[in-house]
């Protein structure tokens, strides 16, 4: 999912004006791309004069940090906070949860490859 680096965006509105599906709007002088409206055409990447439209792969460290903050918040919950066994069980459940997400993504990628090859 493309996103706008707010520090790089000058608010020129080129992407807002040029988005073929109207999925970009201005908020506090910066462009914002709506997840639900974006059709991943990459036109915004091509037309941004400041290169402020970024690729989602750049957010991996940020997303991992957010996941770990969520995990730490769970571990600090009263239910888990003072029980190492419960904490370990939670971590095991979360490992299964994230492993399941990996499998879902891998299967989705397989289907996308199949779809691409059938076109």
1 — pLDDT class (breaks 50, 70, 90): confident
Whole-Å CA distances, 116 to 41, 107, 110, 113: 16, 14, 10, 5
pLDDT at residue 17, as a whole number: 97
pTM score of the predicted model: 0.76
Give strand ranges (E) for 1-119: 3-4, 24-27, 30-33, 53-54
Q: Tell me which of 3.30.420.40, 3.30.70.20, 3.40.50.2300, 3.50.50.60 is the CATH number of domain 3-54.
A: 3.30.70.20
pLDDT, tens digit, for every residue of 32-44? 999 999 999 999 9
- Sequence-separated (6 or more) residues with CB below 8 Å from residue 50: 8, 9, 10, 12
Determine phi and psi for 29, rounding to 5 degrees.
Answer: 80, 10
pLDDT tens digit string along 83-93?
Answer: 999 999 999 99
Return the domain boundaries, the chain. Answer: 3-54, 60-118
């Amino acid at each position: 999912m493309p996103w706008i680096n707010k520090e790089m965006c000058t608010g020129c509105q080129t992407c807002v004006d040029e988005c073929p599906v109207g999925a970009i709007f201005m908020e506090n002088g910066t462009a914002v791309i709506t997840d639900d409206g974006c059709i991943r055409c990459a036109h915004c990447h091509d037309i941004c004069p400041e290169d402020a439209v970024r690729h989602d792969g750049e957010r991996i460290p940020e997303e991992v940090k957010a996941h770990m903050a969520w995990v730490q918040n769970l571990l600090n919950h009263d239910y888990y906070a003072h029980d190492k066994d419960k904490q370990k069980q939670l971590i095991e459940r979360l490992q299964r949860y994230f492993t399941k997400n990996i499998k879902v993504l891998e299967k989705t990628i397989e289907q996308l490859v199949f779809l691409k090859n059938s076109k």
